[in-house]
């Protein structure tokens, strides 16, 4: 269905398809035993295979194949029992083989789909065209020497999954939602850590515009788009650029463009005429890859609960709304934290404390849950004290702040500071009598109709009792003493 961003793109419909390169989280590379760890001394993680020494032969990493299958299953996609590794030939200094081993005609994963969650709360399905396995390249380094370039082959040969979408995406918001959802699924599956600063997830974004109902327009492919913010900005920029050209009577050249984050603009890298002829052919060093149906079925058995399933279960089992559920499931660790705290407790209350209090403080400190000073059990302990009326909700906030600062249990803080709620009506009554005796004018004013003063009396009582009086007992006794209810 056509969706238009009125005002921004006028009567033009935006069409986007994304190619995401996701590095497989693995100890070793796709065709060698060298370490696939990020960083390290330059050229410390390089085997003779990665350096393309003559006569070296690639050996396929079974674990990486398994992760690609797992990802295909997580994307609701067809896993192909037969796939073929081909050589994609081009010359570049960071590619010592002179070709990249990739899959072309026969990828390991075919068509699939994922649901994306849009800012207005709606859900849309985006088609996945394919997922194939390929090697990453090394890195040329141009800024270390005035006249020389260096090369670091640590990344050379690391396993990538290239995940290609159908041109189903219709706006920058949808592109961001697609990227975020894909990242979430990969992280749930554990097949890619989604670490964008380390380049574990990189996107090429294909953008075109057309009038709704018209055939697809000519696309430009934007490379080097490596964060959600960059996706948003690059698409917005590119859409405006294309609309201006077409409305100015020009036409779009199919080309590869580069996103320049510093300039906030895309610029031409190469046009279609200069496009490579990669001379793909099956790699004679690697037999076609056959994966058995039983292996695929076994991997399917081990899939974790995925984000959408978890979100719906949280809504049904815990009575949470869609928004709270989606925030809680955004990270698997966060969802687990919530579930362990919610066990046997008022789940909505637990969700509120995590979402409104804990995540707020962590966010402010730039921390995530793994470094939270308050554990799920400790949040649970605090909530138990609220539910059994040991402390009021208001005191609980102060207790929580102290828990966060000190890592101590709620019960310990409540005991050492004497924060237990006073429910003893005789004690509350005594304080109320004092307050009323001290404020005869206000008592008279209240009795003659100034209802608003009720809050004043509550405040005075609470103040005298250090905020610890049970609020409903204070209300009840005050009402009966003041003679109006």
20 binds ligand ADP (CB under 6 A): no
C-alpha atoms less than 13 angstroms from C-alpha of 343 in its C-beta half-sphere? 9
**Coil/strand/helix, residue 11:** coil
**Residue 279 in contact with residue 91, Cβ under 8 Å?**
no
64, 77, 164, 379: residue in contact with ligand ADP (rule CB under 6 A): 164
102 binds ligand ADP (CB under 6 A): no
Q: Which is nearer to ligand ADP, 215 or 292 (CB)?
A: 215
SS3 305: coil
Query: By CB under 6 A, which span of 14-22, 277-285, 287-295, 329-337 interacts with ligand ADP?
Result: 14-22
When the beta carbons of 116 and 164 are compared against ligand ADP, the nearer one is 164
- Per CB under 6 A, the list member of 219, 310, 334, 468 interacting with ligand ADP is 219
Q: Which stretch binds ligand ADP (CB under 6 A): 22-30, 217-225, 394-402, 475-483?
A: 217-225
Angstrom distance (rounded) from CA 346 to CA 144: 58
**Is there binding between residue 165 and ligand ADP (CB under 6 A)?**
yes
CB of 115 or CB of 331, closer to ligand ADP: 115
Q: Which CB atom, from 164 or from 192, has the smaller least distance to ligand ADP?
A: 164
Q: Read out DSSP for 36-101?
A: --S--STTSS--TTTTT-TT------HHHHHHHHHHHHHTT-PBPSEE-EEEEE---TT-TTSEEE
Residue 115 engages ligand ADP in binding (rule: CB under 6 A): no
164 bridge partner residues = 19, 130
State yes or no: residue 17 binds ligand ADP (CB under 6 A). yes
- C-alpha–C-alpha distance, residues 254 and 341, integer Å: 53
Dmax over Cα atoms in the chain, in whole Å? 101
Q: Is 167 in the site for ligand ADP (CB under 6 A)?
A: yes
Cα–Cα distance measured from residue 102 to residue 18, given in angstroms and rounded to the nearest whole number: 18
Mask 169-208, x = binds ligand ADP (CB under 6 A)? -------------------------------------xxx
CB of 140 to ligand ADP, least distance (A): 23
- Side-chain-side CA neighbours of residue 365 (13 Å): 14
Minimum distance, C-beta of residue 203 to ligand ADP, in the bound complex (Å): 10
User: Any contact of residue 19 with ligand ADP (CB under 6 A)?
Assistant: yes
48 near ligand ADP, rule: CB under 6 A: no
Q: How many residues bind ligand ADP (CB under 6 A)?
A: 16
* Residue 135 sits in the site that holds ligand ADP (CB under 6 A): no
Looking at beta carbons only, is 66 or 221 nearer to ligand ADP?
Answer: 221
Residues 38 and 92: beta-carbon distance below 8 Å: no
From 9, 12, 13, 18, residue interacting with ligand ADP (rule: CB under 6 A): 18
Q: How many CB atoms lie within 10 A of CB 332?
A: 18
CA distance 290 to 193: 27
Instruction: Tell me whether residue 25 or residue 256 sits nearer to ligand ADP (CB atom).
Output: 256
In our burial notation (b when 16+ CB lie closer than 10 A, e otherwise), range 33-68 reads ebbbebeeebeebbbebbbeeeebebebbeebbbbb
Q: By the criterion CB under 6 A, which residues form the site for ligand ADP?
A: 15-19, 164-167, 206-208, 216-217, 219, 221
């Amino acid at each position: 269905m056509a969706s238009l961003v009125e005002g921004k793109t006028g009567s033009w419909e935006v069409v986007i398809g994304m190619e995401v390169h996701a590095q497989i989280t693995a100890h070793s590379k796709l065709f060698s035993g060298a370490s696939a760890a990020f960083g390290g001394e330059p050229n410390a993680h390089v085997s003779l295979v990665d350096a393309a020494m003559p006569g070296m032969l690639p050996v396929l990493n079974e674990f990486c194949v398994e992760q690609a299958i797992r990802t295909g299953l997580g994307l609701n996609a067809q896993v192909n029992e037969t796939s073929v590794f081909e050589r994609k030939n081009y010359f570049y200094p960071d590619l010592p083989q002179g070709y990249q081993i990739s899959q072309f005609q026969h990828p390991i994963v075919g068509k699939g789909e994922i649901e994306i969650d849009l800012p207005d709360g709606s859900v849309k399905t985006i088609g996945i065209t394919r997922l194939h396995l390929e090697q990453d390249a090394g890195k040329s380094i141009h800024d270390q020497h005035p006249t020389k370039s260096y090369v670091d082959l640590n990344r050379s040969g690391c396993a990538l999954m290239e995940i290609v979408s159908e041109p189903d995406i219709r706006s920058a918001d949808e592109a961001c939602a697609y990227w975020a959802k894909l990242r979430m699924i990969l992280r749930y599956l554990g097949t890619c850590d989604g670490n964008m600063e380390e380049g574990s997830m990189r996107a090429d974004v294909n953008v075109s515009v057309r009038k709704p109902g018209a055939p697809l327009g000519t696309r430009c492919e934007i490379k080097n788009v490596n964060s959600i913010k960059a996706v948003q900005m690059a698409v917005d920029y590119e859409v405006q650029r294309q609309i201006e050209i077409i409305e100015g009577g020009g036409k779009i050249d199919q080309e590869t463009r580069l996103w320049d984050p510093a300039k906030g603009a895309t610029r031409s890298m190469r046009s279609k005429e200069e496009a490579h002829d990669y001379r793909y052919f099956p790699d004679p060093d690697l037999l076609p890859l056959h994966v058995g149906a039983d292996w695929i079925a076994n991997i399917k058995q081990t899939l974790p609960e995925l984000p959408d399933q978890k979100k719906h279960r949280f809504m049904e089992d815990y009575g949470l709304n869609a928004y709270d559920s989606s925030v809680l499931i955004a990270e698997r660790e966060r969802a687990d934290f919530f579930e362990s705290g919610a066990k046997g407790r008022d789940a909505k209350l637990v969700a509120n404390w995590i979402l409104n209090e804990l995540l707020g403080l962590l966010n402010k400190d730039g921390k995530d849950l793994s470094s939270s000073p308050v554990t799920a059990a400790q949040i649970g302990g605090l909530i138990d004290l609220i539910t059994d009326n040991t402390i009021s909700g208001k005191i609980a906030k102060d207790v929580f702040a102290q828990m966060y600062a000190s890592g101590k249990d709620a019960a310990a803080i409540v005991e050492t500071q004497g924060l237990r709620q006073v429910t003893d009506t005789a004690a509350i009554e005594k304080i109320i009598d004092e307050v009323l005796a001290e404020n005869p004018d206000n008592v008279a004013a209240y009795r003659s109709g100034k209802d608003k003063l009720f809050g004043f009396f509550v405040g005075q009582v609470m103040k005298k009792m250090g905020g610890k009086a049970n609020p409903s007992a204070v209300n009840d006794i005050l009402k009966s003493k003041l003679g109006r209810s």
